């Protein structure tokens, strides 16, 4: 396989990821708007009696419990996170720093 072919394949792959990511972001925005319209925005942790605090990081919305520190993701958010992970290995680490302030 020639070097040129490698690069062409790589750019097609990047284009695919980018398009997929944009699709997911649009879906998530619509979903979020629905959530915000729903009554009582306070969400309770499914695991304990804590309250979920929303963090938005690079278009992914993450709910973190203020008591047990559990992190909750919607299926679409998880999908976007996995997609970002495929593109950039540092994402999860950056997210962790963002949330914990470490
Ligand atoms: Zn909790």
Rounded CA gap, 42 and 20, in Å? 31
Residue 76 lies in a domain: yes
Separation of 68 CA from ligand 1 center, angstroms? 4
pLDDT tens digits for range 26-40:
988 888 777 766 645
* Cα angle, residue 100 at apex, residues 94 and 102 outer, rounded to 5°: 75
Query: Residue 53 Cα, ligand 1 centroid: separation in angstroms?
Result: 10
- % helix / strand / coil in the chain, to the nearest 5? 55, 15, 25
Q: What are 55's two structure tokens? A: 């963090």
CA dist 91 and 102 (Å) reads: 15
**89 CA to centre of ligand 1 in angstroms:** 28
53, pLDDT greater than 80: yes
Is 88 domain-assigned? yes
34 and 63 housed in the same domain: no
Domain annotation covers residue 78? yes
Residue 29 maps to a domain: yes
The reply to whether 56 and 85 lie within a common domain is: yes
pLDDT at residue number 67 = 95
Provide the domain count of the chain.
2
Q: Does 47 reside within a domain?
A: no
Q: What's the domain range around 63?
A: 52-100
């Amino acid at each position: 396989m020639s070097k040129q072919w490698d690069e062409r394949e790589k750019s097609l792959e990047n284009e695919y990821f980018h398009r997929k990511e944009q699709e997911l972001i649009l879906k998530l925005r619509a979903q979020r708007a629905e959530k915000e319209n729903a009554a009582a925005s306070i969400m309770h942790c499914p695991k304990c009696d804590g309250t979920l605090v929303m963090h938005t990081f690079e278009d992914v919305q993450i709910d973190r419990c203020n008591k047990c520190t559990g992190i909750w993701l919607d299926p679409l958010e998880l999908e976007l996170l996995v997609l970002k992970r495929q593109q950039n290995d540092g994402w999860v680490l950056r997210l962790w720093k963002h949330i914990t302030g470490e």
